[in-house]
Structure 1
Amino acid sequence: MSVTSSPAAAEHSPALSLGQVLLCSALIVTLSMGIRHGFGLWLQPITMERGWSRETFSFAIALQNLCWGLAGPFAGMLADRSGALRVLMGSAVLYAIGLAGMALASTVLVFTLSTGVLIGIAQAGCTYAIVYGVIARNVPAARRSWAMGLTAAAGSFGQFLMVPVSNWLISNVGWQESLVLLGGAALLIVPLAFGLREPARPAALAGHHSQPIGEAVREAFGYRSFQLLMAGYFVCGFQVVFIGVHMPSYLKDHGLSPTVATTALALIGLFNVFGTYAAGVLGQRLAKKHILSAIYALRSVAIVTFLLLPLTPTSVYVFSAVMGLLWLSTVPPTNAAVAQIFGVQHMSMLGGFVFLAHQIGSFLGVWLGGRLYDSTGSYDVVWWLAVALGVFAALINLPVRESAIRRPVPVAA
């Protein structure tokens, strides 16, 4: 005998307090995302001193994003089964080692392994997929999208805070020393991780049917809406990582000062605080697919306008503010939709798979930016490709079905 049950059929009492979850999640994401958002500032110092091409640096960052994506489902699987504590602690240590390697590497191979592989794997275990799993299991569904938006806003504040700090460190301490100092900052994630330590079986899952991992993966990948969310997230990764890594060099190539680039990245981070929080709040009231479609469409409009207008500091700042509102605002509705459709038991793992698509897009965006620049002397092709992909993502999110999937659950006699 069996009945059908939806993942969100029952609410739960949180295993951790709401304030504790939000505070520790926000601080962890502020550190992990804030450090990585400034990597574009190191492109020219590293390539000029080492005598490497932009493609060399771009490939390492591209590989970082790909490794982040590939490691994400496994880090999420471990966090779902054993809790986030060990995953966060190990990732923080690996993050610090990778940043030190990035600073000290004198060969392309060592630079690629430390910057690309080590940091990429570390980011998989201390960013959104892991903390969102804890949030999904410990925050009631009625406030889940808001909580995810608040945490994403913290990551945005990290970008706003850390980009000028990174630029100041590079100018006053040196690019190598600044990376070592940021590695020390990454280790602060270790004590914060204890605030997200969950019981062996979170209250969200107590008394509920346990779905095997293999079954959960087959169910998700066979579900059309999951495929569409992944495709949209691919576009998100392509756009934001290309802009984040290559825009400082793009602006310098057009005669604008490094201060303009630093201010632009900081503005993206500042306005992203408001954009991600607003997306989380709206996700409690509006269809998440409509929010996502609007974000991707508006990104394309913003890029086209930026390319057609004369390039001045003012146009850069306005573009950065607009893109900031749209930057990580895809994160709360995408992850909240996954939790709404499939439930919270395997949230970190499924979020990791969705984020893998994001990072494949990130890999192509940052690598093609360097590759096509070296071959054509311009970023124009990649800019227009980002526009086309934004239109594509806006369209494919419209058919997404957000209602909880219904699955048979065995019932005891």
Structure 2
Amino acid sequence: MPVAVWTIVAAAAASISLALGMRQTFGLFLLPLSAEQGISPAVLGIAVAFHNLVWGLSQPITGALADRHGAGRVMAGGALLLSAGLALPALLPNAVAVLFGIGVLTGIGVSCCGTGAALAAVGRAVTPEKRGEMIGLASAGGSLGQAALVPVAQSLIGGVGAVATLGILAATLLLIVPISRAIEWRAPIETSGPRATGLAGLPALARSALADRNFALLTLGFFACGFQLAFLTMHLPSHIAVCGLPAGLGATALMTVGLFNIPGSWLCGKISTYIRPEQALGWIYAVRSVAIACFAFTTPTPAGTVVFAAVMGFVWLGSIPLTNAAIAQRFGVADLGALYGVCFLSHQLGGFLGAGAGALLLEYAGSYAAFWPVMVAIGMLASGLNWIIRPPARALA
């Protein structure tokens, strides 16, 4: 493939790595911010829940803007919002700053710099036969941020404190601004296919897509992905601490998720070349649900926690290249960012409920015991929804 394509894939991976790596550290601040500043764990938990909701609500809009005007400029603006969202509670460590900075600003910022705009740009830059693999490769590279930023953040929290660590992460995220120059800085070049709908046509595009039974099922299934992953990202370190296991094991588990997601995302993207993406998605949700059941309903141990994190990591972000591939096969790539955003809104509604309900449960019940059966049931339902999706009448380039 041309060097320019590899540059776009590498830049997309770097932006996703920083944006998603940052949000994977939120769970590490849950108890330290409480000890340092007296900010209730429920406040940060609710802030992260709103972060997921705001991310989901803004993703169709930022995706449509990227489709029409180019992903790079959208990502650069998002980097500024991400940095501001972490700098605000670092400068003013109180509940309002946490709720607005992490709950609103970083939610909009990650919709610009995360998977939506960047992977749509990758999808437009490569040939149809390579699309799933290259989107998977960019997603896999994005996992490096989780593997790298989680232990760094854990070490910084122990060394300089939670507030100072937020400030350091805020400065680090500004690296996305120069990276974004390499990703579709101008409007996408028109091909023989349709022109991107843009922001004005987004409502009609969303209604048309959701009227398609199969897209609607894909979107409903994506709810489970957000529900499961947001809960684990936010609450797995606290669950481990509540169970009496070493505090550092939470960071180790999140780092393990990131490491195993690197080969897992690439493989999931490549699989879409050989089998229908919806069938593979059904298996991903089933594997996750079985792993969650085995972890939740047995006595937790350090070794078992690491094995659970490795299994979950292998299928962690694999749903993203597969979902993009499924949408591209049905609708083409002109509106890929916007349509992925519509689907992703369901994902983030799940994330909002998963992170928020977990925080409230910890606050009032002191444990997460009642939550695990719900996680398993929702995951298995998502498997069934994806397995009954019919293949597209014709695959679009």
Same fold (TM over 0.5): yes
CA contact (8 A) 1:230 1:357 kept: yes
- Paired residue for 1:208? 193
- 2:299 pairs with one of 287, 310, 313: 310
CA RMSD of aligned residues (A): 1.8
1 CA distance for matches of 2:193 and 2:269? 27
Higher Rg:
1
TM-score normalised to structure 2 length: 0.95
1:349 corresponds to? 338
Q: How does 1:56-135 map onto structure 2 within 5 Å?
A: 56-135=43-122
Structure 1 residues 308 and 230, CA gap change in structure 2 (3 angstroms)? same
Decide whether aligned partners of structure 1 residues 56 and 140 sit closer, same or farther in structure 2, where only a CA change above 3 A counts.
same
State the 1:199 CA deviation.
Answer: 4.5
Q: For residues 356 and 69 of structure 1, what CA distance do their matches in structure 2 show?
A: 4
CA contact (8 A) 1:238 1:386 kept: yes
> Do the aligned partners of 2:194 and 2:334 also contact (CA within 8 Å) in 1?
no
Cα drift, residue 215 of structure 1: 4.3
2:348 to 345, 351, 359: 359
Shift of 1:143: 0.5
Asked whether the 8 Å contact 1:290–1:397 carries over to 2, the reply is yes
1:255 equivalent among 235, 238, 244: 244
Say whether 1:196 aligns with 2:183: yes
Q: Which residue of 2 is the match for residue 136 of structure 1?
A: 123
The letter for the 2-side match of 1:217 is: A
Residue 68 of structure 2 contacts residue 196 of structure 2 at CA under 8 Å; is this kept in 1? Answer: no
Match for 1:236 among 222, 225, 239?
225
1 or 2 for the larger relative contact order (CA 8 Å, sep ≥6)? 1
Write the distance in 1 (CA, Å) between the matches of 2:296 and 2:71: 43
- Unaligned runs of at least 5 residues, structure 2: none
Distance 1:134 1:245 in 2: 29
Establish whether residue 384 from structure 1 lines up as the match of residue 390 from structure 2. Answer: no
Distance 2:184 2:324 in 1: 21
> Does the CA-based 8 Å contact 2:5-2:126 persist in structure 1?
yes
Name the amino acid aligned to 1:76: G
**AA aligned opposite 1:288:** P
> What is the TM-score when the length of structure 1 is the normalising length?
0.91
Deviation larger for 365-374 or 213-222: 213-222
Deviation track 1:92-140 (CA, whole Å, cap 9, x = no partner) reads 0111111111323333222200110001010010010101110111111
CA 1:290–1:201: 2 relative to 1, 3 Å: closer
1:47 and 2:24 matched = no
Find the partner of 2:214 among 183, 208, 225. 225
Count of residue pairs the alignment pairs up = 392
Give the Cα separation in 2 of the matches to 1:201 and 1:318.
Answer: 43
Q: Which of residues 253, 257, 281 in structure 2 aligns to 1:264? A: 253
Alpha-carbon distance change, 404 to 112 in structure 1, aligned in 2, over 3 angstroms: farther
Tell me, in whole angstroms, the C-alpha distance in 2 between the residues paired with 1:147 and 1:207: 22
Equivalent pair of 1:272/1:326 in contact (CA under 8 Å): yes
Distance 1:372 1:129, change over 3 A: same
Residues 59 and 344 in structure 2, CA contact (< 8 A), matched pair in contact too: yes
Gaps of 5+ in 1: 1-12, 408-413
Check conservation: 2:73, 2:185, Cα contact below 8 A.
Answer: no
Q: CA 1:111 to 1:198, structure 2 compared with 1: closer, same or farther past 3 Å? A: closer
Q: Is 1:34–1:156's contact at 8 Å kept on the other side of the alignment? A: yes
Equivalent AA in structure 2 for residue 165 of structure 1: V
Q: 1:155 aligns with which of 118, 142, 147?
A: 142
Of 385, 389, 394, the residue aligned with 2:383 is: 394
Q: Indicate the residue corresponding to 2:272 in structure 1.
A: 283
- 1:339 matched to 2:328? The reply is yes
CA-CA distance at 1:288 after TM superposition: 1.0
Distance 1:405 1:286, change over 3 A: closer
Work out whether 1:171 is the aligned partner of 2:150: no
Contact 2:193 2:334 in 1 (8 A): no
Contact 1:340 1:404 in 2 (8 A): no
Identity among equivalent pairs (%): 38
Alpha-carbon contact 1:94-1:122 (below 8 Å) kept: yes
